[in-house]
Copies of this chain bind each other. A is one copy, B any other.
Amino acid sequence: MGDTFAVIGSTLVYEGALLDLEVRTLRAPDGAVLQREVVHHPGAVAVLLMDGSDAVLIRQHRTAVGGDVLEIPAGLLDRAGEPPEEAAARECVEEVGLRPRRLTRLGGIHTSVGFTDEYIHLFLGEDPVAEDAGQAHGEEAALQVVRIPFDQLARQARDGQLDDAKTIVAVLAVAARRDADTGS
């Protein structure tokens, strides 16, 4: 028994291109035996990219949610050992053709602690310079770049008009830091 959770069994039921799925058996402190499905994910980065007073977002097809999503540039930590900062800058170039010259960490999020270990490192990107994105394929070939005044975007995030978790967290965190800096 004890006062901690013990993993007493594990079965890898799927190994995929992006995700692995494990069924894990736990013994809880009260003796209950539980099964939990755990989706293993490589982790990701996302960047609230500012160009002057505008935020630079994308509208992209996301088959998992059945439609287009307005979101900040983001991507997988898919190259072995790549530091999150480098991945963040790379994704900005690939998705919107801009490389931020300044990146500030905003912390990060566990997207859904009930079933996945996915963690997204969040950044504020500023002072961008244009850089050729090269040839895109699939979803990235079809994405649309959307510039929105940051104040308007922050109101949308506050009022429940956005629904992408990483985007809302980054936008509201930056808005709150700006409010704190201006002493309002």
Contact = CB atoms under 8 A, between A and B. Distances in A.
A38 B173 CA distance: 29
A28 B172 CA distance: 33
How many copies of this chain does one complex carry?
2
Nearest to A61: B5
Interface string A40-70: 0100100000000000000001111110010
Determine the main DSSP class of A at the interface with B.
mixed
A82 interface: no
Interface stretch (A85-93, A95-103, A125-133, A175-183): A175-183
Contacts of A69: 110, 113
Contacts of A24: 63
Given A34-B138, A39-B64, A18 B176 contact: no
Interface of A: 3, 5, 7, 13-14, 16-19, 21, 23-24, 26, 28-30, 32, 34-39, 41, 44, 61-66, 69, 71, 74, 76, 105-119, 122, 137-139, 141-142, 154, 157-166, 168-169, 172-173, 175-177, 179-180, 184
